[in-house]
Structure 1
């Protein structure tokens, strides 16, 4: 049986993942409307193989899909994927709790005339709650920091160097650079830092810094710098964004669940 997780695009957005999951389920119309509406606000997701059974006549796999929502809560769906015989056709069903998917899986075995066997749990499932905790930390804004203390120390040059080392294609453009040439004081604060697993089974470091500038006209302006080692060769990389939300979304897209 093909593994739905394995054939996914590793950079698939959460919105696309939800649409694909609901679209292929034979019983998606049985899901509560309120649940489907909540899933429209999903910001991040993690999927894991939960259990599997394979025999000459039945191939059956259960997946656990957990979604982090915009309000900070999470929703879990249980997907049963199965086919009978050698036709190779997958059938997908969705359930809102583990008890329901276990009953559905048992019915498949009973219908074929042999008793239910104990499913083999996958160790990835044990890490799923920790993965969602990580995604929550990446996406949820931390408590308000202490008041800034601006330091007048070649701030315009500091801004120029921050923008120059940014490697992301969507880094701030000339309009931002022009405003920051009027900076006369600045404040640097780290607002996030953590090691986490990324694609390929290795760890990578993520740090998020706010570079706040006080401009000559009395206004304030910040740019957000992401430093990480989630690169193919593990090298250090800097990215800069105009707002915190964009920076955190960029980190989330790189911190793929193991």
Structure 2
């Protein structure tokens, strides 16, 4: 179920941020999600056996044009280190296929008898289950806010800026002056500006660009541009932070050219 204290923007940021394959989502889908006004989350299925677990969640978003969009999330601990990993898909068939490929004791199907279907609804996202989700979202958003307006969330924004700068691994990341200025932040907004997958040195690599916009106490606005990519020797995720969009995009282009 949805966290009542989490905004839709925060929920979406958390989903995209933790998903290992968020860069695989179609650009059109990510762009549509930028207009999400409300969301509903439900656990669709869950399986636990012999130390392995996997759950499938359905996230339904109500968009500003009145339409809806569903993301399917697969959470599992079937990786090498046993930590919980998250993957996102736009179709139920895709998440079913991903789940079926996970290691499982006894070779039972990920959506077979060993899997508990919690909501009992249509796994393709249609029918009464989706209608109920939309009814909840429509009730929550009976009065819609103006579209295409930057909304700053006053949620420990200065600490958010510190965390963004702290996880930056690039040598030319913003320095102490930027950190000092952002310590005065009273609000922030996060948007995904770019997402793409390409081949780097014969391996698939994903690139995602986020704008972290901050509202300062003097009402001025400052942005940090964060590049998340897997163009690393071991394929791990790496974060780089820049003060301008141009610098961030040039860094992505440079990483994509590595041979």
Question: How would you bin the TM-score normalised by the shorter chain?
Answer: 0.3 to 0.5
| Structure label with greater radius of gyration | 1
User: What's the TM-score once normalised by structure 2's chain length?
Assistant: 0.47
User: What's the TM-score once normalised by structure 1's chain length?
Assistant: 0.47
